[in-house]
Every structure is written in C-alpha cells, then in structure tokens.
Amino acid sequence: MSRETKTKFITKDILGSSIKGAFLKLNPKYMVKNPVMFVVEVGFLISTILIFFPSLFHDEGNNLSLYNAFVAIILFVTLLFANFAESVAEGRGKAQAETLKKTKKDTKARLILEDGSEKIVSASELKKGDIVLVNTGEMIPNDGEIVEGIASIDESAITGESAPVLKESGGDFASVTGGTTVVSDWIKVEITSEPGHSFLDKMISLVEGASRQKTQNEVALNTLLVSLTIIFLIVIVTLYPIASYTGVKIPISTLIALSVCLIPTTIGALLSAIGIAGMDRVTRFNVIAMSGKAVEACGDVDTMILDKTGTITFGNRLASEFVPVEGVSKEELRDVAMLASIKDDTPEGKSTVELAKKLGASIREEDYNDATFVEFSASTKMSGLDTKEHIIRKGAGDAISQYIKEKGGSIPADLNGKVDEISKLGGTPLIVCLDARILGVIYLKDTVKPGLVERFERLRAIGIKTIMCTGDNPLTAATIAAEAGVDGYIAECKPEDKITAIKKEQAEGKIVAMTGDGTNDAPALAQADVGLAMNSGTSAAKEAANMVDLDSDPTKILEVVEIGKQLLITRGSLTTFSIANDIAKYFAIIPAMFTTAIPEMEVLNIMNLASPTSAILSALIFNAIIIPFLIPLAMKGVKYKPMSAGKMLGRNMMIYGLGGVICPFIGIKIIDLIVSPLLLMLGM
C-alpha cells in the first residue's frame, strides 16, 4: 500500500514565516491579484482616512471617528487573516522544499572522457549526454539512464523508503535520479537533464509553489467571485442615494462594512490557500504533480486505465489450488506439494506452503532438516526434496512426464486434461510426483492484490470506470477482470491499443487517467489527462506524464484520484459556506442600517442584536475571525467519502450550505453579547 508522509499542520518556523508573510502580502501590487480581498484593502484605506477626516464624506455623528477606527482595525485583521491562510499553505510547501534541498548537493562526478579516462568535475558542470561512473557509496550527480552495469540504489532521500532498489542497464528500470546513492557495485550513467532542470530541481520548484498556475476551475471560480463582488458593490453604491432620499443617513464606514460582509470574502481569502494545499497534499503523499491542473484533473477523472501486472495483480504466479488426478486424495497431494516446497524460497514455493497450511497441513519443517533440497534449474525444469524414504519433485509438465517415464511410472489418463484446463485459464500448472507416481497439479496464477475489489467498488460508487490492459489472452483477461471487479478489459493489449482506448474515452468527453513506467507507455501517458509515471520507470515515461509517483506504486493512482476529488470538494464546500454566510450577515446589518429611520425594519432583526453599531461591528468581526477557523479545513481538505454526485451535493449542501447559514447567526449573536457592553461603556 502507498503511504502518506505525515507532517505537523503548522510548526514554529512555519508560524513565524506565515505571520511575516501576512504583512508583506499587504502590498497593493500583490493584493490586486485577489480582487475580492483587494476590495477589502481599499475599504480599509478609506476607513483609515475617515478616522482622521470623518467629515470628508459629510459623515456626522458622535464618536464617528472611533467607529471608523473599529471598522478599519477589523478590516486590517481580516486582511492579515486572509494573507496568513495563504502564507501557511506556502510555508508548508517551503518546509518540504528545504528538506529536498538538503538532498541536493553540489557533488563531484567521475566524467568519462572520449578516450576512456576519468575526470573529476562538479555535478553542476555536467551536460546532457555526458557519461559518468558512479561507484559504491557515491551519489548520482544528476538524472540519467544506466548504460552499463547493475547496482542497488538507495532512493530514501527522494522517496523516504529505506529499502534499496535494484537498477540495471536496458529495460524499464534503467532510470536513476540525481541525489540518490549507489550502495553496491557500480554503474555508468548517461546524463539526461541539463543543470538546474533535474527531477529534484523540478520537485523543489513545484513544492515551493513557484511554478503553480491557477487552474481552469480556479479561474472560473475567481471570475464568479469577482462578478458577485461587482454586483454587491453596485447594489451598495446605489443604496446610499436611496437611503438619503428616504431620510436615512448611512456612514461611509457602514457601507464599507456592508460590502465587505456581503462579498464572498471567506472563500476569496482561502481560494489560493486551497489550491496550494491541494498540491501540498499530493506531494506529502509522495507524488509530484507537474502542475496544479494535473491535481485538479484527478478530481474530474471518469475513466481509469490500469495495467494488469504489478497494478491489479502481484505479477508473481502464486499457488491457488491443488488439483489431484484420479485415485489421489486432495490431502495427499496437499502434503506432498508442501514437502516439495518446504525449502523453496521462491514466491511459488512460499505460496504453496501457505496454501497447504491454510488447507490443514500440519507438516513441520524441522522434521526434514536432514532432507536434501533440489533447486530448480533451467535444464531440469523441476525442483523438490529428497528424504530417506522418498524422492519428491514438482515442475513443468513435459519435464515431470519425462522423469516419470525414466523411473518406469505411468502418466495418469486425466492429467493432460487438467493441465490444459489450467493453461486455458491463464494459469501455470506445476505437476507433483512422489517417487514414480504423479499425484496431481498445483494451480499457479497471477493473484489479484488484496483490497482492490473494494477500492474498485469505491471508484464505481463515484462514477469512475476502470479498464484493465493486459497482454494475456482473452480467456485469462476475462478471468482476472472478473476476479478484480474492473468494469472492462483489453486483452492482448499493445501500446497503441492503450492510446486508442484513451482517445475513445476522451472522444466521449471523459477525463482519463492511467499509470505506466516503460518507454512504450510514454505515448499513452502523454495522451491521458492524468498520467502517473513510476519513479522507477524510464525517463521517457516520467517526461510524458504530468505526475510522478516516488514510491513507484502503480495502485497509488486510486488514492491520487481521491485527493483530486477532495480538492474540488473542499473548494466547492467552502464556496457554499462562504456564500451562505451572507444570508445571516444580511439579517444583521440591513436592519441595523434602517431601523432608526424605519422602525418597521425591526422585524428583520431576528437575532435581537443590541444596537445598530453593535450589529455591524459583530458581523464584521465574525467575517474576519471565520477565516482562521477555516484554515485547517482548507489545508487538510474536506473529508472525502465515495458516493454519487447527487448524494455528494446533497450532503455538502446540508453541512456547508445549512451550516453556513446557521453558524453566522450563532457567531454574530455571541460576539454581539460581548461587544455591546463595551460599546455602552464607550458611549456608542
């Protein structure tokens, strides 16, 4: 199973940098990038001016300067809270980047010259195409492909996993990453990236957020928020002359307070933080997203294309069943098969022993310490155990048949039928014999990974279709597909078939995700909307994909999709909550503005707030303090549960829509109970 790197929500260092960042981001050049919060900053500046020049807009009244000061202070705190939310998100990313930078050192490299001699150079001097020699204990200076040699590579600095990975030239496991260490043997590596453009450099840049661009969904939501802001500003601008006409004198600070409370400041303050936190969550899950768009696309995935071997199945043929020939009991075959495998450390041998024990075998290995284990060899195609009483063998059909004939034994009449049946199902038959007698067959098959059936059901529950790609024949593919619970399969699949399948789904307007690690997967990874490449795979695959899994766990795409869903749900939920807040703030401020001149408006004061001034300041204070309360939710994301879109919408409307209406009523009333006595003391 894949793992998520656990980190504290906020550390002392992040807190310090976030507080500093909150003040630095007050620069209008930065704030204008967030139009909603820029309106708040303009309101703060106007309120600040009105503290010293209350008559500038012909405002009159007792303690008006003090009232303007309260409004300005609350707006200033609102801005700081909004900037603090974004700074915390950025701070968590920068903390991870610092950890990665410790890995990136200016190491020395053994550059191999054209004449075969070596030259020690700085890693920063290496160019694409250079060949370097890396010996035991040395760090690989930059990304590349192994062109000669085989070695164990410690990738813990990148992946966090302590177990070394075996890499060799040729095939799909020749790619190595700069910053990892050779722990045994030696390799020659051809550098595949220019200085400053390695995979680790990209990781640092992306984690820091320097390369983050707003996604289409985020741009659309930002446009909606700007539109709502403009609409409310128009309403408030026209409200002033209407109020004057009816004899109601509204202070400019009150209009500013009304505009700040009614525009979607909550989601405006948290929108950028949600996007940054989404990429941060994926990174903590040990997946590097090449763009925010890739993370967001995960949340919209409709179809998932998965390789069979290594993704859906283990890739190792494991014992599944004991099939005895006529005249032999299943128990006898079970026990002899276990004896043949009791000292066999291969996956097939271990699984045979496990299956035998599961079916009730009680043979103890220590009872056969004196027995001789015969290892499998390509020449004999069999292995087994020689005891004092018996010779036990298991192996390929033709090898065992030949062995039995040489011993003078006979081939059971039903053996070939059982072997053919297993072969048709895509399994591997291992024949078991005791001395010169064949007992039956061990049915080996590529086993589906545990828990995948339930996970595919979760994906189906949220409307995601799964398609398995395999090079197996149609019968084997159908068997594995049924066992795993995927929605469809492509048998005898070639690389071009994957691209065809992706294009077919995309032609129907669907968002497609797939995993891959080989060079032949690169075209399909590039074609897919979400391409997750394995870090252990080739450079071509990693370059073509828009996400790279550092743990090289193909099944992680299932969790990555859920992270994308969580990002979209978090953004939608907090937007719903923010807009729903306006209803309560409307009932707090509007009656307060007009009750004095129009007593009938008192009926709208359903919260029974103490005074107009208290009502306005309470609503403004609530509008400010709700932002830091929601920062942890924006960072961690709304808890995601697989369900249909309709149920998800209904659930979020109940929690964040209804909650967004009720919460301000309670919060504003509590603040009013605290603020109103203080205002009385100040004569306001």
In whole angstroms, give the CA distance from residue 684 to residue 614: 9
In whole angstroms, give the CA distance from residue 269 to residue 320: 56
Q: Using alpha carbons only, what angle is made at residue 81 by residues 76 and 87, rounded to the nearest 5 degrees?
A: 125
Determine if residue 47 is labeled as part of a ligand binding site.
no
In whole angstroms, give the CA distance from residue 457 to residue 453: 6
Q: What is the CA radius of gyration of the chain?
A: 34
In whole angstroms, give the CA distance from residue 54 to residue 64: 7
Q: What is the DSSP letter of 138?
A: P
In whole angstroms, give the CA distance from residue 425 to residue 415: 16
Determine if residue 343 is labeled as part of a ligand binding site.
no
Phi, psi of 225, deg, nearest 5:
-65, -40
Determine if residue 377 is labeled as part of a ligand binding site.
yes
Phi, psi of 467, deg, nearest 5:
-125, 125
- Annotate 196-262 with DSSP letters as a single string: T-SHHHHHHHHHHTTT----HHHHHHHHHHHHHHHHHHHHHHHHHHHHHHTT----HHHHHHHHHHH
Determine if residue 381 is labeled as part of a ligand binding site.
yes
Beta-strand relationship, 303-307 and 512-516? parallel
Determine if residue 348 is labeled as part of a ligand binding site.
yes
Half-sphere exposure at residue 220, Cβ-oriented, CA atoms within 13 angstroms: 7
Determine if residue 517 is labeled as part of a ligand binding site.
yes
Residue with tokens 């074609």: 527
- Annotate 365-425 with DSSP letters as a single string: GGGGTTSEEE---TTT-EEEEE-SS-EEEEE-HHHHHHHHHHTT----TTHHHHHHHHHHT
Determine if residue 472 is labeled as part of a ligand binding site.
no
- Annotate 38-60 with DSSP letters as a single string: HHHHHHHHHHHHHHH-GGGGT--
Determine if residue 9 is labeled as part of a ligand binding site.
no
Determine if residue 344 is labeled as part of a ligand binding site.
yes
Catalytic residue among 307, 472, 549, 553: 307
Determine if residue 394 is labeled as part of a ligand binding site.
yes
Residue 13 is among the residues annotated as catalytic for this protein: no
Q: Binding site residues for ATP, as ranges?
A: 344, 348, 376-383, 394
Catalytic positions? 307
Q: Binding site residues for Mg(2+), as ranges?
A: 517, 521
